Amino acid sequence: MGFFSNLDIEAYDREYSDRDLLKRINLYLKPHIGRLVGISFLLVIIGASSASIPLLISTSLDRLTLNQDDSFIRLMIGLVLLAAIINWGGNWIRRRMTVRVVSDVVLTLRTDAFSSAASHDLSFYDKFSSGKVVSRITSDTREFGKLILLIADLGAQMVQAVLLGVVLARLEFRLFLYVLGFLPFVFFLAMGFRRIARKVTREGMQAMAKVNATIKETVSGIAVAKNFRQEPEIFADFDEANTESYGINLRRGFLLSLVFPVLNAVGGIGTAILVYAGGWSAAKGIVTIGSWYLFVVGLDRFFFPILNLASFWAQVQAGLASAERVYALIDAESAVVQTNNLVTDRITGRIEIADLNFRYTDNEWVFKDFNLTVEPGESVALVGHTGSGKSSIAKLIARFYEFQSGKFKIDNYDIRDLNLTSYRKQLGMISQTPFLFSGTVAENIQYACMDSSLEEMVSLANEIGEGEWLKTLPEGFNTEVGERGGHLSMGQRQLVALLRVLIQNPAIFILDEATASIDPFTERQIQQALDLILKDSTSILIAHRLSTVKSADRIIVLEEGKIIEEGTHDLLLKQAGYYSVLYNTYFRHQSLAYIEESGKLVD
């Protein structure tokens, strides 16, 4: 089925030169050099054994016409048998070796790709979507593996064709030239077909995508359609797309159906000419009968590799492009650079930022000469509009990004001097959409503290709403949370994430509060969990809820990367400055006063 493979592949823009790429590929192949030599050796053996069968037959035919030399004929048959066995056995060993080379190379490449991906800082993930990274690690590495397989398979066919070609050329040069002259014709015919096939395949896929889109819309919107009884309308849309796709794909089918019949008919003409011309040569004694036979049956054996060759280049290009995408992932440079590797005892959690300059890319500065000091155990709420720099502070404290200049100290250490692993072990972080891994609730809570005990978890869980949240889970701690925590509600996920931090008892706690709506009962419990953490850790809160803002020791009001006000909630409200504007924009509707007033919004 080689001919129809990779029809949907287009040209890629390449950045690595072929030479660099081959060098890199070479590095991965080197450890398997022994196997590769073995495979190449087997390729020759297999090619030779396949090519020898028609050769043996033709020799036998010649012999049979001369005399009835029994032992020689028996030898020939024995050799045919041997060739068949070598062919099968050689292929067996070759394919065993190939699958090991391919799987091992892919395994190494995959592991390298993932460990690079895990070590890249977050500026890398701002540039590449996670879906793309995943597909580079799984699909692209697999495509690259296929390239090795492809080369090995085509290699076997080519060796066979070349060996046979040498024999044929030595037998009768003119007939061989005829065979050779025939090949480009077949090759270009096949290339032409591929071009057409690619075009109609693309059209077919577009038509199919349209049908699928209408089905998707129906399936997801079925409730709405049913509520309003609009089924006939959406059916008409579907029917049109379905009929259109049928027409386009049928046309595609017709063109693809043409390929092999045409090639077979052309092959028939080639054989006919050989039967005729070769027959005359044989009659005149220029070639033996056996050689004539060899030419006639040999034609097919040239045919097949040429067909595969027509699709070869596109597949090689696709394989190299995949390799390149994987290497680009591995080679991406880390922006965060540590200058030392200090492993500290437990830190107190003092944060001191002075004259800080920071920007994400070459765009605008996020912070210019920024200063902030947070004392150990203090909780600080950051408020401000989107883009004011709230989450940038959090991300810099976590050392997810590199800053350009200034002083950034944790306790008395320069943040750049710290061993990142030991430092981050003392951080507790919750991102805006709390992330859970598939597994049980308990496993998620213990994610960063494998050695914590069940009793510890139970007692912590019971400190929150008398453990009521745990009772609502079908199997308590052993409840499977599903992929990305999908089986739990948003509120439950937040609670699990909070417990994960609680059990870790971090020196510094960083919370990017979720904006999702949560039922008021769960919200109460989240607040309780939060209070427990705030008690013991230095806390940086990117607050979206009024109650969180109020619970902070200090509120810092940010505007375009500058601190414009700070103080407690009551104090700042009294000042009637920028904070009170923010309060009216973001927090007013969460207050009890608003709830009491809201009944009068209408009437």
Partner 1 sequence: MDTNQKLTSEFSLPEEYQVSDSIIAKRSSPMRWLVAHFKEYWHLGLYMVVGAIGNASLAAVVPMIIGMALNALLEEPPRTEILLRYALIIVGTQTVRGALQLGRNFSAEMLGQLMERDIRHELYTSLLGKSMTYHSLLPVGDVMARATNDVREINFMFSPGFNLVVGSANFIFMPILFSYQYHPSLIAAPLIFLLLYILALWQYLYELGPITDSVRKTFGTLNSRLAEAIDGIETVKGMAEEASEVELFASNARRFRDQEVHQGDVEARFLPLLVWGLVQAGGLFHAITLYQRGLLEIGDIAAYFGLLGLLGFPTFISLFAYSQVSLGIASSRRILELINRETELDQNQSGYQGVMKGKVHFDGVSYAYPDIDTSINDIDFSIQPGQTVAIVGQTGSGKTTLAKLVNRTYDALSGSIQIDDIDVKDWNLEVLRKQISIIEQDIFLFSDTIADNIAFGKPDANQEEIEQAAKSAQAHNFIQSFKDGYETMLGERGVNLSGGQRQRLALARAFLTDPRILILDDSTSSIDSATEDEIQKAIFEAAKGRTTIIITHRLSQIRWADYILVIRKGEIIARGRHEDLIQSSEAYSRLFKE
Residues within window 390-409 making contact with partner 1, judged by CB under 8 A:
398, 400
Nearer to partner 1, 371 or 590 (CB): 590
Question: What residues contact 181, with CB distance under 8 A and at least 6 apart?
Answer: none
Are β-strands 367-374 and 351-358 bridged in parallel, bridged antiparallel, or unpaired? Answer: antiparallel
Is 328 a binding residue for partner 1 by CB under 8 A? The answer is no
Specify the stretch interacting with partner 1 by CB under 8 A; choose among 168-176, 221-229, 307-315, 347-355. 221-229
Specify the stretch interacting with partner 1 by CB under 8 A; choose among 155-163, 165-173, 205-213, 376-384. 205-213
Nearer to partner 1, 371 or 591 (CB): 591
- Is the distance from CB of 516 to CB of 357 less than 8 angstroms? no
Report the residue from 249, 308, 311, 538 that binds partner 1 according to the rule CB under 8 A: 249
Report the residue from 41, 88, 173, 188 that binds partner 1 according to the rule CB under 8 A: 88
Strand segments (E) across 413-476: 413-414, 427-430
Is 233 a binding residue for partner 1 by CB under 8 A? The answer is yes
Going 310 to 312 to 318 to 324, the CA torsion angle's sign is: negative
Is 429 a binding residue for partner 1 by CB under 8 A? The answer is yes
CB of 489 to partner 1, least distance (A): 3
Phi then psi for residue 332, to 5 deg, are: -55, 135
User: Is 501 in a helix, a strand, or coil?
Assistant: helix
Is 67 a binding residue for partner 1 by CB under 8 A? The answer is no
Is 363 a binding residue for partner 1 by CB under 8 A? The answer is no
Among 41, 160, 39, 11, CA closest to 95: 39
- 546-565 residues near partner 1, rule: CB under 8 A: 547, 550
Angstrom distance (rounded) from CA 306 to CA 77? 30
Strand segments (E) across 28-115: none
CA 310 to chain centre: 29
- 269-308 residues near partner 1, rule: CB under 8 A: 269, 271-273, 275-276, 279-280, 282-283, 289, 292-293, 296-297
Specify the stretch interacting with partner 1 by CB under 8 A; choose among 156-164, 232-240, 341-349, 552-560. 232-240
Question: What residues contact 476, with CB distance under 8 A and at least 6 apart?
Answer: 441, 470
Specify the stretch interacting with partner 1 by CB under 8 A; choose among 6-14, 23-31, 162-170, 584-592. 584-592
Is 596 a binding residue for partner 1 by CB under 8 A? The answer is yes
Question: What residues contact 535, with CB distance under 8 A and at least 6 apart?
Answer: none
Angstrom distance (rounded) from CA 187 to CA 207? 30
CB of 500 to partner 1, least distance (A): 8
Specify the stretch interacting with partner 1 by CB under 8 A; choose among 194-202, 244-252, 373-381, 565-573. 244-252
Is 333 a binding residue for partner 1 by CB under 8 A? The answer is no
Report the residue from 12, 173, 260, 313 that binds partner 1 according to the rule CB under 8 A: 260
Is 519 a binding residue for partner 1 by CB under 8 A? The answer is yes
Helix (H) / strand (E) element for 112: namely: helix 70-119
CB of 23 to partner 1, least distance (A): 24
CA 146 to chain centre: 16
Is 243 a binding residue for partner 1 by CB under 8 A? The answer is yes
* C-alpha torsion angle, residues 175, 181, 186, 188 (rounded to 10): 170
Is 21 a binding residue for partner 1 by CB under 8 A? The answer is no
Q: How many CA atoms lie within 13 A of 66 on its CB side?
A: 13
Helix (H) / strand (E) element for 316: namely: helix 289-331
Is 416 a binding residue for partner 1 by CB under 8 A? The answer is no
Report the residue from 33, 99, 354, 576 that binds partner 1 according to the rule CB under 8 A: 99
